[in-house]
Each structure stands twice: as structure tokens, then as C-alpha cells.
Amino acid sequence: MIPTQRSLATRHLSSTIQISSSGAAGRRGSLAATAAGLGGNNVPVLARPVLVGRSRSFYSGSASAGSKHASFINGRQWNGSRRTLATQVQETGTTQQQLKLPHFDKILIANRGEIACRVIRTARKLGIKTVAVYSEVDKDALHVKLADEAYCIGPAPSAESYLRMDKIIEVCHRSGAQAVHPGYGFLSENSAFAEKLAQEGIVFIGPPASAIVSMGSKSESKNIMSAAGVPCVPGYHGSNQDPTFLYEESKKIGFPVLIKAIHGGGGKGMRIVSTPTQEAFDEALTSAKRESLKAFGNDTVLVEKYIQHPRHVEVQVFADTLGGAVSLWERDCSVQRRNQKIIEEAPAPGLSPALRADLSEKAVAAARAVDYVGAGTVEFIFDNDTNKFYFMEMNTRLQVEHPVTEMVTGLDLVEWQLEVAAGNALPLSQSSIPLVGHAFEARIYAENPRNNFLPDSGPLLYLSTPTPTTIFATPYTPEQLSADNINGNTSLSIAPSLRIEQGFTQGAQIGVFYDPMIAKVVVHGRDRTEALRMLRKALDEYHVVGVSTNVEFLRTLAGNKAFIDAKVETGFIPKHFADLFPPIPTPSPETLAQTGLFVALRDNTNPSAPPTFQQTPWTSLPSRRFGGDVYERTIQLQTESTTDTPSIVHIVSSQTMPGKFNITVRTPDGTTTTFESVTAELTSSTSLSTTLDAESAMTTIVSQPPAPNVPISLESLNTMERLHVFSGGHRTTLVVPAANWLVSLGNDVLNAAAARGGGLKAPMPSLVVEVKVKVGERVEKGQAVVVLESMKTETVLRANAPGVVKAVGCKNGEMVEEGRELVDVEADPVEEEH
């Protein structure tokens, strides 16, 4: 049951935002009235009836507004059968009301992955043809297959493909694309790109170049925001980049400080400096500048006070060319790793209606201060200690996390972008924008959370996802949002929904050249509790094999008590590290028995015949046949820590009772568990149905064969078959070790290599950015030796002991594979105490 919120709304009407302009005089929208709509069980409702759709116009236009639009689209004219885009008006009483202008016929998406697929879906819904661009390594990518046309624009490195403005513009002319949607990343916040498109008569589906320039510079944007009355974090935002000067400014601000690139986002070019020494500051400054230069082409940074317990709260804003600007409410993106978001939600938990209205008011003021047009996100740092918020930056593009806003508003933000870019008014006024239920988005990354979230690369050998219930957010009908439905007599009906945004399919390659995000899982429920429960279930059903992912980490995070209680902050992961990274549990006897059965049944060459348990070098342990009717098989299984003692699974099958097995499991601690009359059947190549101790279970087990052409080793996982077991929302990885005889000849070599020690190996496939040492050079413990880059993230390898560099196995600019020894440091001998 949902009580009325009219009293709350009335209480905060003083926070009303005036949204009238020269093109929309006299209109008022009450942010507070809608922001006040938090119902029972934290279910947002509306303060008054809302009309969703386009059956009425919320904006009155004038000839001057039309001229503004004509200037914005750079006087674009269409030839032949192309439409004429000019502002059309008709008299409606004493006012002029804008007619809806037509959409584009064809647009180019200057991006890849899930965002390119996302834009294509909306364009297809609206009947707009799409043009994809791709690099050579993306020739088989999903966005290439979904688009109506696709053009290769260069080699894999972004600088030679997705960042080539000239090639993208050339494809626009070749294909007849009238507009470019930049997605996020790459050229999405590049003012020069927006200007070049305008010069070529092509519409940039985004803000004007002037707004990108103003908000793209974190230092300039802070000055603009201060002038507009938007609170900012104390710091130095000037142009002096002298390291000593910046260090002195940092001392004035007070440590800890945050060094941050003035251009770009995504956590790139950011470093926290807690140690108040010149040496520590200079090292962080050098690293931040180098990363910023590579990512954004500019190494200018600013320095700000680092707030100790902040939340990251951002507001989605939209503005049109006719003077309209609205807030689509806020998102909380506090839980981050490496200064990059991994889970987002809308609305932000725990905000009062007054605070929600204040945030939205300041965000709209920020957009107006730079004459913003299109979709933008105003990011704030919310201080948990003081409940104050400060402007951080404005992202002048569609955000990765935009789906959570779509779910709680029932809107299609890409469609809104296309409407605004075509010159139309915003589809809804402020007072008509819903805020219903609660939504979460979890980003699935190819990375290893237990190895400092380092990115991974490789093929998606297996990909199985939960079944989505929707592709787009479901629009709310007037009946759903009517006064009768929110007066406390009935429940507001929200159908829980699941949405998956992904740009890859099974078999695709996750490379080292781009961001490692695989997909986004988005859920929408009636309240935060329900949405979080849905998210946990969806993550339980999201299975990936081939690359390391953060799926299990996200599942643990979604079940963490502090997160469930909404006690979020940007330092959430380090604060709750022990809970989020518990010891990896020992495989249970049940899991070992199921895995052994999977191997035994899989190795049977004739599924219709009794098991023959054909051996391979990876499973070659005793297999015997007694009297023609009994089969016996022993299988060794290890954890990924290949130095552990293996578990032994002994399976006996009777030919007189097909499908029945007696199994004995002996674990490394000597414990023996017996399962009798076990029923087992392989229902597919990855699905095992078992009845174990009267409990039926369906288990997914995926085999990852050893890498080809890799020397056999008892220690390297790359030379062993791995079995990934998904059951009950958990994943267990077991290894089928190679037979001893396969490695006996190479053991001496392996042991010698292991004994030598001191080698620094690549933790993932990487590009060598800088080799900082030479052969014969002395290094100290902790000294930076090699700088690597993978998926736009820098990693510094440091000497783990004092010593002398004996060999360097890489060079600047070289691509190196995971596990390759890059630098060999001969450690100083340890003096024995006498």
C-alpha cells in the first residue's frame, strides 16, 4: 500500500525551479513536488497526476527559438529526397507552438561494444538506419552485425581507428549519415570533433562544442559553477603545472589531496596522495599526467581536497535548443574500484525530498550556466560526514549507467537525444517526469578482483546469461501514475524487470586495446530491497568462462550487509575488504563428486552405451573393467592452487543398473565421503543432472581445455584442463592435472626456473609503456621497474627485493603476453645471523 505524498510535496514547493526561458516563457516545473514522491517501503511515487507520452506539448516556441536551432545544426540542408529540417511553427491562439520535426534518416555510431548496440536498438525502433564503424579486430563484433551498414576505419589501437575523426567523417559522407552519435568514451567529449562535424554539415548528437570545452576542463568548469552558485570542493584549478607549485598548493589545501586530470573521466588520470612529501606527490603527479596524456591527449591536472568519506551522487539532466532544461533525478555511483564505477543505483538511497530537489536544482543551474543541449550528467561529491554536496564535474555525454535512470522514469534517453538533436523540445516537462521504484546496474568486467582488479583478455569460451524480460524501460501509463493509484488505497503496479546490455556474444574476443567491460545487468523493482534481490539472482545466473570476471565479486557485494543497508561511500571496497574477499572455500565433497561424474560421463565416446571412460592425457588414472559389467574410474581434481594435494574421486558404475554410480571422495585432509546409488545424466555438453543423497540438482560445468602449444607443466594452469562448476549461485574452479609422465622430462628445467626467483612477470596481456631499468643497474625494494598498460589502465611493476638487474626481456611499445618474464632481478644474498 502506498500512502499519499501530497503533504510532503506541499512542504517543499518553495524549492520550485523556474524553467522558463525566451523560448518557453511562463512555464514552471516543481522539482520538489516530484522529488518528494517517496512512498512506503521507499517506493517513489508522484506528487500529482502525470501524463506520459507526446499527446500534449509542454513547450511553446518562437521564431527566435527556431533561429537558435537553425544555428545549432549549422544550417544543415538536405538534397534530393532528404528532408528539410527547418523550424516549423503554427499559430495556436495567441501563442506559437512548435511542430515536431522529423527524425534523421540515417545516423553513424562512432563507438563499439554495448553502447553501440544500445543506440542501434533505439534507432531501429524509430525507423532510423544505422552505420557502424569498426577496427580490424572488431570485424566480427556484435555492433557490426546489428547495424545496417558497417565500415572498417583502421587497425586495433584507438588512435588509429575509433579516434580518427577524418575517417569517421569520411564514412559519414560515403554512407549518407546525417548525424553522429558518439556513445561514451572515445570522441564523445571532444569539442574539436563536434566542430569538425558542424563544418561538414553533420549533426553531432550531443552538446555544442562550447559546452564541451567549458565542462570538459575541470578547472574552468569549477570557476563557472562557482559563479552560478553551485558549491565546489576546495582546491587549485589554475593553469600553473609546476610540480613544486602544485605541491605547495596541496599543502595549503591540506593532505590528503586528489590529483585529477582536467579532461576526461572514467577514473583515468586520478591519484590520491596521502603522504605529505614532495617525493610521494611527484610520483603520483607524474603517473597521473602520463595516464591523462594517453587517455585524453592533455596532461593538465588540478588538485583538490580529498574528502575522506564521500558518496558519488550524480544528476541526469537534459536540455533542448529551445531553452528547456530538466532533471531526470539522481543516481548513486559510490561503490568504485580504481576510481571507476562498478555498480550504480537510482534513486540515491537515503536522500530527503528537500535534498533531492536541491541537487536537481543545482544540476539544472549547472547545465544552464553553459547553455547546455542534450544529455548530460552533473556529478557531485556528497560528504557523508556533513551531508553537504559539492560539484565535481559534468560529463557532457550519455553515461554508462543511464539505464537505471531509464528504468525509474520509464523513458528512453537515447530517443530523447535524437529528439533534441533533431531540434525538438524535450518530450516532458519537469513536473511530468516519473520517479518510480528502484533500479540497479552492475557492470560485468573482464578483470580479476582478487588481483587488484587487473583487466583480463581472451576469448569468451562460454557465456550464459539470465533471460531478460525487457529491452527498453517500460513507459508508465497515465493510469499507473494517476491520482487514484497513489492515494494510498491501491498499490502502484510495477512489473519487476531485468535488462541486459552487452556488446559481445559467446566466442567473441576481449582484447587489450579497449575498456574491459563485457556487459551491464540492469534490474528494476518496486523498492530497493526487491531490486537488490533481483540483482543477486541475475548475477547467480550470469556465467562466463574464458576470461576472469568480476561477477562473483558483484554477487558478494550485492549480498553484503553494509551495502544492503545502503551504507555506501566511494571507499566502500577497501573499508569492507575482508567481507568482500573472503577466503576461497574448499570444494565440497558433493561438488567434487559431481565434477568427477561430469568427467567420467563426458569421456564416454558413446552416450547411449555404458560408460567406457576413454582416457586422455589429462584424465589418465586407473580405469578397470571387471567381469564385463562393472566400470571403475579414479579421477584427480585440484584447486587452482596447483601446489595443493589433489582430491581423489573414485567412481564405480554397474552395467546392470544403468545410470547408477557409487562414488567415494577423499579430500586432501584425509576425509572420505561415500555416495551410493547416485543418479547422473549429462543433459547437454555443459549440464549435469544428479540425485545425490536424495537431493536433485542441475549443475553447469564448463570445460576450459589447456592452451595449445604450451609446454606441459605441473604448476602452470595454462597447461591443464580447468572445470568451472556453477551451482547454487557459486562458482568453483577445479583443475584436472596432467599425468606425471608428461612433465617428468621437463621438471629439471621448471625447478631451475623456479629456484632462480626475482623475475617480474606480466600479470596480464599488456603494452609495455616504459622500461625504467637497464641490465646491471642496482634497484631497491619497491622501486618502479616496468610500467604496463592494459585496457587503458596503467600498472607499475616494482622490485620485490633489493638487487641487480640481470636481464630485461621487453622493450618500450612491445605487446607482452600474461606470465612473460619482463625483468630478472638477482636479489642480494641474505646475510645469516651468527
Q: Which residues are catalytic?
A: 397
Q: Are 712 and 745 in contact (CB under 8 A)?
A: no
Secondary structure (3-state) at 36: coil
Q: How far apart are CA 563 and CA 729, in angstroms?
A: 19
What is the maximum alpha-carbon separation in the chain? Answer: 103
Amino acid identity, position 263: H
The residues, any chain, with a CB within 8 Å of residue 158's CB and separated by 6 or more, are: 135, 186, 513, 514
Beta strand 695-704 with 803-808 is unpaired
Burial class (CB in 10 A: 0-12, 13-18, 19+), 818: middle
Alpha-carbon distance values, 619 to 603, 740, 785 (Å): 9, 11, 41
Question: Rounded distance, CA 131 to CA 108, Å?
Answer: 4
One-letter amino acid of 85:
L
Distance, CA of 452 to CA of 448 (rounded, Å): 7
Q: What is the helix (H) or strand (E) element at residue 632, kind and residue range?
A: strand 630-637
Measure the CA dihedral 269/275/279/280, to 10°: -30
Q: How far apart are CA 59 and CA 97, in angstroms?
A: 7
- What is the torsional sign of CA 64, 66, 69, 73? negative
Residue (of 416, 485, 414) closest to 111 by Cα position: 414
For residue 830, the 8-state DSSP code is: P
Contact 165, 107 (CB under 8 A): no
- Compute φ and ψ for 450, nearest 5 degrees: -80, 0
Integer Cα distance of 159 and 755 in angstroms: 42
Cβ proximity of 714 and 642 under 8 Å: yes
Distance CA 372, CA 417 (A): 13
The separation between CA 807 and the C-alpha centre of its own chain, rounded to angstroms, equals 38
